[in-house]
Chain A
Amino acid sequence: MITQPNLLEPGKDLKKRYRTDRWFQRIGITAITLALAFIALLFYKIITEGYTAFIQTKIMLEVDFSEQTFAKENLAAADYPALVKKSLSELFPEVTGRNDKKLLFGLVSSGAAYKLEEMVSANPKIIGTRQKVWVPAASDVDMLMKNKIDRNAPQENRRLQDNQLAWLDNLHNQGKLEKQFNQTFFTSGDSRDPEMAGILGGVKGTFLTLLITLTLAFPIGVAAAIYLEEFAPQNHWTDFIEVNINNLAAVPSIIFGLLGLAVFINFFGLPRSTSIVGGLVLALMTLPTIIIAGRASLKSVPPSIREAALGVGASKMQTVTHHVLPLAMPGMLTGGIIGMARALGETAPLLMIGMVAFIVDIPGAISDPATLLPVQIYLWADSPERGFTEKTSAAIIMLLAFLMTMNSLAIYLRKRFEIKW
Chain B
Amino acid sequence: MIYPYIIPSILALSAGVYILGLRRAEKVATYSGGLSELHSLPTHYGVFAALCCAMPALLVLVLWMIFEEKVITSMVAGNLPADLLRQSANELTLVINEVKNVAFGGFTATSGNPAIEKAAVAYMAHLTSARNMVSILVVFCSIIPAWFAIKSIGKDLRARNLVEGAVRIVLFACAGVAILTTIGIVFSVMFEALRFFQAVPLTDFLFGLQWSPQIAMRADQAGSSGAFGAVPVLTGTFLIAMIAMLVAIPIGLLAAIYLSEYASSSLRNWAKPALEILAGIPTVVFGFFAALTVAPIIRELGTALGFTVSSESALAAGLIMGIMIIPFVSSLSEDVIHAVPQSMRDGSLALGATHFETIRHVVIPAALPGIVGSILLAVSRAVGETMIVVMAAGLSANLSFNPLATVTTVTVQIVTLLVGDQEFDSPKTLAAFALGLLLFVFTLALNFFALRVVRKYREHYE
Contacts and interface: CB of A to CB of B under 8 A. Distances in A.
Interface stretch (A67-75, A77-85, A248-256): A248-256
B227 to A, nearest CB: 22
Max count, chain B CB within 10 A of own CB: residue among A227, A344, A345, A346? A227
B262 interface: yes
A352 interface: yes
B185 A36 contact: no
B171 A28 contact: no
A387 to B, nearest CB: 14
B414 interface: yes
A252 B280 contact: no
A226 B447 contact: no
B371 to A, nearest CB: 15
Given A252-B411, A258-B432, A381-B391, A348 B254 contact: no
A401 interface: no
A268 B287 CA distance: 33
Interface string B358-382: 0100000000000000000100110
B350 interface: no
Contact of A250 (B250, B287, B443): B443
Nearest to A262: B188
Contacts of A165: none
B282 A399 contact: yes
Interface residues of A, number: 85
Contacts of A38: 278, 323
A247 B448 contact: yes
Contacts of A226: 171
B168 interface: yes
B170 interface: yes
A24 interface: yes
B391 A248 contact: no
Interface stretch (B135-143, B289-297, B397-405): B289-297
A17 B181 contact: no
Contact of B262 (A28, A221, A400): A28
Contacts of A20: 354, 356
B281 A42 contact: yes
A32 B259 contact: yes
A183 interface: no
B257 A35 contact: no
A255 B384 contact: yes
Interface in A228-278: 228, 231-232, 240-241, 243-248, 250-256, 258-259, 261-263, 266-267
A27 interface: yes
A254 B433 CA distance: 11
A255 B175 contact: no
B439 A255 contact: yes
Nearest to A338: B280
Contact of B274 (A36, A266, A344, A378): A36
A254 B386 contact: yes
Main secondary structure of the interface of B (DSSP, over half): helix
A348 B415 contact: yes
A274 B277 CA distance: 30
B71 to A, nearest CB: 16
Contacts of B284: 345, 347, 374-375, 377-378, 381
Interface in B175-204: 175-179, 181-182, 184-185, 188-189, 191-192
B184 A247 contact: no
A140 to B, nearest CB: 20
A351 B282 CA distance: 15
Contacts of B64: none
A223 B175 contact: yes
B330 to A, nearest CB: 8
Contacts of B433: 258, 262
A262 B192 contact: yes
Contact of A241 (B167, B175, B323, B439): B175
A35 B323 contact: yes
Given A28-B255, A227-B171, A252 B386 contact: yes
A233 to B, nearest CB: 11
Interface stretch (A57-65, A283-291, A302-310): A283-291
A356 B419 contact: yes
B280 A341 contact: yes
Nearest to B380: A250
A27 B411 contact: no
Interface string B263-288: 00000000100110110111111111
Contacts of B252: 31
B436 interface: yes
A21 interface: yes
Nearest to B288: A381
Interface in A364-408: 374-375, 377-378, 381-382, 389, 392-393, 396, 399-400, 403, 407
Given A38-B323, A39-B274, A378-B387, A254 B414 contact: yes
A35 B278 contact: yes
A161 interface: no
A259 B293 contact: no
Max count, chain A CB within 10 A of own CB: residue among B254, B257, B381, B383? B254
A32 B178 contact: no
Given A227-B175, A248-B178, A377-B284, A258 B415 contact: no
A21 to B, nearest CB: 4
Contacts of A252: 380-381, 383-386, 411, 439-440, 443
Contacts of A223: 170-171, 174-175
Contacts of A211: none
Ordered nearest first, which 10 A-B pairs have the shortest CB separation?
A: A252-B384, A28-B258, A345-B282, A262-B188, A223-B174, A348-B386, A31-B254, A227-B171, A21-B356, A224-B175
Interface of B: 160, 164, 167-168, 170-172, 174-179, 181-182, 184-185, 188-189, 191-192, 250-252, 254-255, 257-259, 262, 271, 274-275, 277-278, 280-289, 291-293, 323, 326, 352, 354-357, 359, 377, 380-381, 383-387, 390-391, 411, 414-415, 418-419, 424, 432-433, 436, 439-440, 443-444, 447-448, 451
12 contacts: A36-B275, A45-B289, A49-B292, A219-B174, A232-B175, A241-B179, A247-B451, A316-B164, A345-B283, A352-B419, A378-B284, A378-B391
